[in-house]
Amino acid sequence: MNPTSLSLFELSKKLGQKEISSRELTDSYIKNIEAREGDINAFITKTFDLAREMADASDSRRAAGKTYSNLDGIPLTVKDLVCTEGIQTTGGSQILKGFVPPYDATVWGNLKKAGAVLLGKTNCDQFGMGSSTENSGYGNTKNPLDLKCVPGGSSGGSAAAIAADFCAGSVGTDTGGSVRQPAHFCGITGLKVSYGRVSRYGVTAYASSLDTIGPMGKTAQDCAMLLQVMAGHDDRDSTTPNIEVPDYLNELEKDLPGFTIGIPEEYLGEGISQSTLQALESTKAVFKDLGVTFKTISLPHTKYAVPAYYIIAPCEVSANMARYDGIRFGNTQEGANYEEIIVNTRTHGFGDEVKRRILLGTYALSAGYYDAYYRKAQKVRTLICQDFTQAFEGVDAILAPTAPTAAFEIGKNTADPLQMYLEDILTIPASLAGITGITFPVGQSQEGLPIGMQLLGPAFKEERVLRMAHQFQTAIDT
Ligand code: GLN
C-alpha cells in the first residue's frame, strides 16, 4: 500500500515502529506531487531539497532515539500566508513575490521544533480574501476530486494537497471559513480554532479581529496531533491567552454519552442543496447511535452575518494592506514621485478582490459613514456572539452544513462577487463569534463530490469538537 494514502496518525505510528523512514515517506509524496501538480497547482513554492534534508535529519534523530515529538519526520505543507524563514512567502499575492521572511511564524516555528518536514507553501486567495482560490496571484488551484471544480478557499491549496496525497497535513487560516469550506469541498477534515488559540505572529494579516490559524488533515485525529503543537500562548501575540492546552489526542477517545447537539433552523433555509440536507440527516443518525440527542435551536441574527462580515473584514483590510506601499513592504514599481510609486506598486501588485475590499473598507470607515456601516456592523457582531452564547447554554455543540452546496465549477462565481460572498453564509457567523468549529466529510453530492458538515463548539473547546468528529469518523469506519 502506498503510505501517502494513510492518515498522519497512522504514519506517525509507522515511523515510530521504523516500518518506514521519513525520507521514504517524503520521496513518496514528492512522487505524487510530480505526477499531478501540473493539473492541480496546489503549491506556490515547493521545497523538495529542504524536505529531503529535514527528513534525513529526522531519520538520524530516530536512529539515535532522540525524536522531538510524534510529528517528527511527518511531511507537511503550509499555507503561503505563514512566514517561513528563508523560504518565499507571498500571501498569494504578486505584491509579495520574492519576499523571503527572515523569521518563522510562531506556528511554523513550533511545528519545525517538533520535527515536521516542509514540502512547500500552498496556494491561496490573495491574503486570504476569497472562497475558491481563484483570487490567487499564482493561478487557481483545481479540486483533485474533479478538476473542473474549485477546491474552495482561501486555503484551497492546502485542502487540495491533502486530498491529492501530496502531504500528511497542512496549516491553513480561517477568517470567515477558509479552513472549513475547502475541507468540505475536498473531502478532508479541517479545524477552525477559537480566536487566540493559535498565535498569529508571523502570519500575514487579513482581518486581524477574525484571523485564526488551523490544522487540516485527513481526520480529526490528525488535526488533534497538529493542534497539540500549534496551540498555546505566545508572548508575541497578545490575543493568545495563557490558558492550558489540553491533551487533544487523549480527549478524543472519550465517548459521547449525554451529549446534546443543536441544529440551527436558520442554517437550513433557502439554497441548501437536497444532497446536503440528506447528508445532515445521515450524520445525525450516526451521532444518535453514539448516544447523542438532538434539539432544534435558533441563531436569530444569522442573516445579518454576511453583511456585517463584509463591512468589518474590508475595514480591517484597508488598514492591514496599507503597509504594502513598495517602501515598507511589497515589490516596488517605478514612479516619478512618492505618490506614483505607491500607486504603481499597488495597481500592479494587488489583485482585483484586494482592491475591491480596500475601497469598501476605506469607504465604510470614512467620516460620515463610520456610524452607518462600521459601528452598526460591530453591533451586529455582538448580537451574533450573544446568539451563540445563548445556544451553548442548552447544547454542547451545533451541527450544520459548511456551505450550501458541494464544490462549484471554476468560473461560476467570479463575475459576481456578491454571489461569492453569499457562499460564506454558513461559516461566517462562527468567525464573527470567535468560536471553534470542525468540518469533516460525511457524504457525497449527486455528482459524487464530497460534503462536509461542521460541528461548532464554544470558544476554547477544540477538544470537544475534535472528539465528536473523531467518534463519528471511528463509527463510520467500522
Ligand atoms: N471567503 C471569506 C472571505 O473572502 C473567508 C476567507 C477566509 O476565511 N480567509 O473573506
Q: Tens digit of pLDDT for each residue in 310-329?
A: 999 999 999 999 999 999 99
Q: From the alpha carbon of 130, which atom of ligand 1 is closest? A: 4
Give the β-pairing of 212-217 and 293-297.
unpaired
273 is annotated as an active-site residue: no
Cross-strand bridge partners of residue 203: 82
C-alpha cell belonging to residue 238: 497578545
The catalytically annotated residue of 58, 93, 136, 178 is 178
Asked if pLDDT for residue 345 goes beyond 80, the answer is yes
C-alpha cell belonging to residue 318: 484597508
In the prediction, which pLDDT does 257 show? 83
Asked if pLDDT for residue 409 goes beyond 80, the answer is yes
Distances in Å between the Cα of 118 and the Cα atoms of 50, 69, 71 are 7, 16, 12
What is the 81 CA–ligand 1 centroid distance (Å)? Answer: 13
Check if the beta carbon of residue 341 is closer than 8 Å to that of residue 328.
Answer: no
Q: From the alpha carbon of 206, which atom of ligand 1 is closest? A: 9
178 lines ligand 1 (CB under 6 A): yes
Average pLDDT over residues 395-420: 95
Give the β-pairing of 169-174 and 75-79.
parallel
211 lines ligand 1 (CB under 6 A): no
Check if the beta carbon of residue 247 is closer than 8 Å to that of residue 202.
Answer: no
What is the 352 CA–ligand 1 centroid distance (Å)? Answer: 15
Asked if pLDDT for residue 289 goes beyond 80, the answer is yes
Residue 257 Ramachandran class (φ > 0 left, ψ -120 to 50 alpha, else beta): beta
Could you report the per-residue pLDDT of 56-112, keeping only the tens digit for each?
Answer: 999 999 999 999 999 999 999 999 999 999 999 999 999 999 999 999 999 999 999
Could you report the per-residue pLDDT of 291-314, keeping only the tens digit for each?
Answer: 999 999 999 999 999 999 999 999
Check if the beta carbon of residue 70 is closer than 8 Å to that of residue 63.
Answer: no
Asked if pLDDT for residue 1 goes beyond 90, the answer is no
Phi, psi of 222 (to 5 degrees): -65, -45
176 lines ligand 1 (CB under 6 A): yes
What is the 98 CA–ligand 1 centroid distance (Å)? Answer: 24
Q: From the alpha carbon of 424, which atom of ligand 1 is closest? A: 1
Could you report the per-residue pLDDT of 221-239, keeping only the tens digit for each?
Answer: 999 999 999 999 999 999 9
Average pLDDT over residues 458-463: 98
Asked if pLDDT for residue 478 goes beyond 80, the answer is no
The catalytically annotated residue of 154, 155, 170, 194 is 154
Cross-strand bridge partners of residue 324: 329
424 lines ligand 1 (CB under 6 A): yes
Could you report the per-residue pLDDT of 124-180, keeping only the tens digit for each?
Answer: 999 999 999 999 999 999 999 999 999 999 999 999 999 999 999 999 999 999 999
Exposed e or buried b for every residue in 123-160, given b needs 16+ CB within 10 A?
bbbbbbbbbbbbbbbbebbbbbbbeebbbbbbbbbbbb
Instruction: State which of 353, 424, 439 you would mutate to test the pocket of ligand 1, scoring each by most atoms of that ligand within 8 A of its C-beta.
Output: 424
d(CA 115, CA 136): 30
Instruction: State which of 173, 175, 315 you would mutate to test the pocket of ligand 1, scoring each by most atoms of that ligand within 8 A of its C-beta.
Output: 175
C-alpha cell belonging to residue 55: 527528513
Asked if pLDDT for residue 350 goes beyond 70, the answer is yes
Give, using CA atoms, the residue closest to atom 5 of ligand 1. Answer: 176
In the prediction, which pLDDT does 264 show? 98
131 lines ligand 1 (CB under 6 A): yes
Q: From the alpha carbon of 128, which atom of ligand 1 is closest? A: 9
In the prediction, which pLDDT does 427 show? 98
Largest CA distance in the chain: 70
In the prediction, which pLDDT does 49 show? 98
154 is annotated as an active-site residue: yes
282 is annotated as an active-site residue: no
The average confidence (pLDDT) of the chain is 97
Could you report the per-residue pLDDT of 258-272, keeping only the tens digit for each?
Answer: 999 999 999 998 889
d(CA 84, CA 386): 37
What is the 255 CA–ligand 1 centroid distance (Å)? Answer: 33
158 lines ligand 1 (CB under 6 A): no
Q: From the alpha carbon of 131, which atom of ligand 1 is closest? A: 1
Check if the beta carbon of residue 218 is closer than 8 Å to that of residue 473.
Answer: no
Distances in Å between the Cα of 238 and the Cα atoms of 18, 197, 200, 232, 442 are 41, 11, 10, 11, 37
